[in-house]
Amino acid sequence: MDTRRTIDLGVPVLFVQTLEGGAGIQNGDLSSDSCGRLIVMGTDFVVVYTGVTYGPAEVGISVRTTPPTTTMTEWETIEEGTFAVTGPHSLIPHPAGTETSIEDIAGVTTVDDISPGSWHIRVHARGRDADRGDVAVLLQLSPTEHPLPLTTAKVGDSYLPRMLTTVPTRPAPSPATDPAGTIHRSAVLQEDAAHAVIEQWTRIAHWIRTHLTPAPIAGADRAQITQAVDATGVEWPYELTAFFEQISGFPHENWVALLPAHELFDLERLVEERQMELDTWGELDEEMGGAPAGGNSAGETAFTYLPGFIPFGGGWTPAVTDGKLNWQCRP
């Protein structure tokens, strides 16, 4: 099988997996050793991250009987490994957010000439690092008897899978329980909000890498974010969780003043600063005879620190400690 087609990617991610038995989309673990720069290897699936660009990408699939011998010069990043084929496999573009089932996803391609067993896959990519019009990936598959862990053969860009949030397709809500379609519309709005954050942060991150190369950019994984959400005891906006998946603060040794006189908090700092403010304002409110009657909605003056406040950054203010002028961060 040799096929090449242009797929309009609503989200720049591709999945190679079986759909037998009603299998849903397999996202993989971004925090495991099976997560590389270009692909995430699962036991019986592969996730391909095509990069920054939302839109058309040239996608090639080649099923061979012998290992690939592609010239590496035409590709920027190449990774490979082995996975198990248990049934018919398909190449599935990431849902755009308007689908109600996998069958509604445009661009799904059946991978022909592939039989159960151990298979080697080599994934090639270019155009991942910036918003470009020449995004292309090539997937080469061949049977093998020799297992190969995830291996990076070439790196020519700085894009990483954790720079993008992946959300699997949700099934359509039952008309009997959701006649107005509220649940599905809500899910789509949530994904749109997350994708908007990712798109804008990707632009910022590209500028930082271009002009501030020593600055590391690393997001938190889902488990870390869930732990922080549980610690605050309040529901976080979808935009905020998407933001922390892209960036969880900067190390002090590589401090970046992304906002004037402010720094971004990591998750641990967020939880600590929030609790400190709640304790401080709680004591003040108690001394004043109770919390003031302020607003609880965004844009309204609260006159105190509400439990719903979630600080993701703080400002630096001058303070004297031990007779010396220092800068202290305040949310």
Do 136 and 60 form a contact (C-beta atoms < 8 A)? yes
Provide the angle, in degrees to the nearest 10, between the axes of the packed helices 182-211 and 238-246. Answer: 30
Q: Within 10 A of 162 (CB to CB), how many other CB atoms are there? A: 18
Mean pLDDT across the stretch 136-164?
88
Whether the pLDDT of residue 188 is over 50: the answer is: no
Across the chain, where does the E strand assignment appear? 2-9, 13-18, 39-41, 46-49, 55-63, 77-85, 89-93, 109-111, 117-126, 136-143, 151-154, 262-264, 313-321, 324-330
Domain spans of the chain, in order of start: 2-163, 182-330
What is the pLDDT at residue 174?
41
- CB burial of 262-290 (b: ≥16 within 10 Å; e: otherwise) equals bbbbbbebbbebbeebbeebeeeeeeeee
Q: What is the DSSP string of 185-211?
A: HHHHHHHHHHHHHHHHHHHHHHHHHHH
Q: Hey, is 163 helix, strand or coil? A: helix
**Rounded percentage of the chain residues whose pLDDT exceeds 90:** 19
Do 87 and 18 form a contact (C-beta atoms < 8 A)? yes
Whether the pLDDT of residue 70 is over 80: the answer is: no
CA dihedral 61, 65, 67, 70 (to 10 degrees): -50
- Tokens found for residue 281: 């304002």
Integer Cα distance of 157 and 52 in angstroms: 11
Task: Report the DSSP pairing between strands 117-126 and 77-85.
Answer: antiparallel
Band the pLDDT of 331: cuts 50, 70, 90: low
Q: Please name the residue ranges forming H helices in the chain.
A: 182-211, 222-232, 238-246, 267-287
Rounded to a whole number of angstroms, the CA Rg of the chain reads 23
Integer Cα distance of 274 and 221 in angstroms: 21
Q: Hey, is 220 helix, strand or coil? A: coil
Report pLDDT digits (tens) over 38-64.
999 999 999 999 988 888 899 999 998
Do 285 and 305 form a contact (C-beta atoms < 8 A)? no
Do 194 and 242 form a contact (C-beta atoms < 8 A)? yes
Report pLDDT digits (tens) over 272-330.
999 998 888 888 888 877 766 666 666 777 778 888 888 888 875 444 445 554 444 55
Do 116 and 145 form a contact (C-beta atoms < 8 A)? no
Report pLDDT digits (tens) over 151-169.
998 888 888 887 764 433 3
Distance of CA 73 to the CA centre of its chain: 29
Q: Hey, is 131 helix, strand or coil? A: coil
Do 197 and 242 form a contact (C-beta atoms < 8 A)? yes
Report pLDDT digits (tens) over 89-128.
999 998 876 777 777 888 888 888 888 999 999 999 999 8
The CATH superfamily assigned to 2-163 is Competence, DNA-entry nuclease inhibitor, ComJ (2.60.34.30)
What is the pLDDT at residue 267?
92
- Alpha-carbon separation of residue 129 from 7, 74, 270 (angstroms): 18, 15, 30
Of the candidates 12, 152, 163, the residue with the CA atom closest to the CA atom of residue 77 = 152
Is residue 136 classed exposed, middle or buried when 0-12, 13-18 and 19+ CB atoms within 10 A define those classes? buried
